[in-house]
Amino acid sequence: MNNEASPLFSSLQIGNLTLKNRLAVAPMTRVSSHEDGTVGPLMKDYYQSFASGGFSLIITEGIYTDKQYSQGYKYQPGLTDEAQMNSWKEITNAVHEKGGRIFAQLMHAGALSQYNKYTEQSASPSAEKPLGKEMTFYYGKGDYATPKEMTQEDIEIVILGYVQAAKYARQAGFDGVEIHGANGYLLDQFLTVYTNKRNDRFGGNLANRLNIYKEIISSIRHALGPDFIIGVRFSQGKVNDPEYKWPEKSADAKYTFEYISSLGVDYIHTTEHVANASAYDHGPSLSELAKIYSSVPVIANGGINNEGDALELLEAQKADLLSIGKAALANPDWPTIVQTKQQLKEFSFEMFNPIADLKTANSYFRENNTM
């Protein structure tokens, strides 16, 4: 196929931003910031390499949003003070210099916090001990702690944290923010019946369980105005419950995507194990459901490894933009490789062994002569 005409390399409008192609880097936690949540040169080189490699958009790893309960991992970066905000400027500049765009993913870990330098306690909609075990490649060990149930005041602090972090993101030169509403973290804990036993306006039916999303989206929009890009990420599976499905299946997808899109977000990002697979026994994929029920651009993620995987989703109009995770780690220049018909490298989990940080990855690349 003639790459000039490939839909992968056509432009896309998100809000008032024009992306030069349909290829984005998926958010990936790399536990490589300094202890104080500021970021440095190692991370600058890492993020810049994707922009140099032709990705039009990079969505950062999950960044914590407040100094209360949001931090999830040791060496996770934050956007909670001037020093953290200023440290990101080098990265946003480095990406822009290479013609890329970059969104900050804003993340509150809730009950899945494995480390928080500001407090020993974790907090969640309800005091339910999470399923599964902490992730060892992020310095975890053993069971998750049982979180405390968030008070109304705690929830207010979560919302204010998101707003302040979004303001800092804009000041640091990010082109937008992505609210992490997926993968089992705090917002997904509100969305999920078995982690949300509340009987106030943040618990109960689906509309109530989505109230925290609404509060965060409308508060950021109110604070930053109509032009700043706000997206939201959704998943069914969770890092600690990978096979979970939304209980009312397509009916939940319909309500969720219609409602979230009505709140004025600029895009929806869905993630599944395999983006192209049916969300339920048969029928549309999750990204396709988001396309059907929302009126905003949709990013699909999960198992998009080669050009064929990517084209299939775009050509069937199951997504507008594709986000690539592990295959982008193995190939920071994935778009250039595909466009110039070269061979993609295989991703190896050795890159995360023992820790999923940039030091481990860089020594993996050196040992395998792939750098």
The Cα 314–Cα 195 span in angstroms is: 35
> Least separation, in Å, of the C-beta of 234 and ligand FMN?
10
24 binds ligand FMN (CB under 6 A): no
> Least separation, in Å, of the C-beta of 225 and ligand FMN?
25
Closest to 216 (Cα-Cα) out of 158, 280, 176, 288: 158
**Given the residues 185, 267, 293, 364, the one annotated as active site:** 185
Q: Which of 57, 182 has the CB closer to ligand FMN?
A: 182
Q: Which of 132, 204 has the CB closer to ligand FMN?
A: 132
Each residue 323-352 as x (binds ligand FMN by CB under 6 A) or -, in order, gives: -xxxx-------------------------
> Least separation, in Å, of the C-beta of 211 and ligand FMN?
21
- Residue 205 CA to chain centroid, in angstroms? 25
The Cα 356–Cα 308 span in angstroms is: 28
Q: Which of 289, 304 has the CB closer to ligand FMN?
A: 304
Tell the residue number behind the tokens 């069937």, with chain if given.
316
Q: Which of 21, 105 has the CB closer to ligand FMN?
A: 105
Each residue 206-245 as x (binds ligand FMN by CB under 6 A) or -, in order, gives: ---------------------------x------------
Size of the site for ligand FMN (CB under 6 A): 21
Torsion angle of alpha carbons 233, 223, 164, 149, nearest 10°? -60
Spatial contact of 171 and 85, defined as CB atoms under 8 Å apart: yes
User: Going by C-beta distance under 8 Å and a sequence separation of 6 or more, which residues neighbour residue 367?
Assistant: none
> Least separation, in Å, of the C-beta of 270 and ligand FMN?
10
Each residue 172-201 as x (binds ligand FMN by CB under 6 A) or -, in order, gives: --------x-xx------------------
> Least separation, in Å, of the C-beta of 363 and ligand FMN?
16
Give catalytic status of residue 185 as yes or no: yes
Q: Which of 204, 347 has the CB closer to ligand FMN?
A: 347
Question: Nearest 5°: phi and psi at 105?
Answer: -85, 120
Spatial contact of 234 and 268, defined as CB atoms under 8 Å apart: yes
The Cα 37–Cα 132 span in angstroms is: 26
Q: Which DSSP symbol is given to 247?
A: T
Closest to 370 (Cα-Cα) out of 343, 339, 334, 331: 331
Residue number, nearest CB to ligand FMN:
325
Spatial contact of 326 and 303, defined as CB atoms under 8 Å apart: no
Exposure string (b/e) for 21-39, b if CB count within 10 Å is 16 or more? bbbbbbbbbbbbbeeebbb
The Cα 33–Cα 257 span in angstroms is: 34
Contacting ligand FMN within 255-314 (CB under 6 A):
271, 301-304
Q: Which of 124, 183 has the CB closer to ligand FMN?
A: 183
> Least separation, in Å, of the C-beta of 67 and ligand FMN?
19
Q: Which of 105, 122 has the CB closer to ligand FMN?
A: 105
Contacting ligand FMN within 109-168 (CB under 6 A):
none
- Look at residue 62 and give its three-state secondary structure: strand
182: its two tokens: 């997926």
Contacting ligand FMN within 41-80 (CB under 6 A):
61-62
Q: Please, what sign has the CA dihedral across residues 309, 19, 262, 59?
A: positive
321 binds ligand FMN (CB under 6 A): no
| Chain residues in the site for ligand FMN (CB under 6 A) | 26-29, 61-62, 105, 180, 182-183, 233, 271, 301-304, 324-327, 356
Catalytic positions, written as ranges: 185
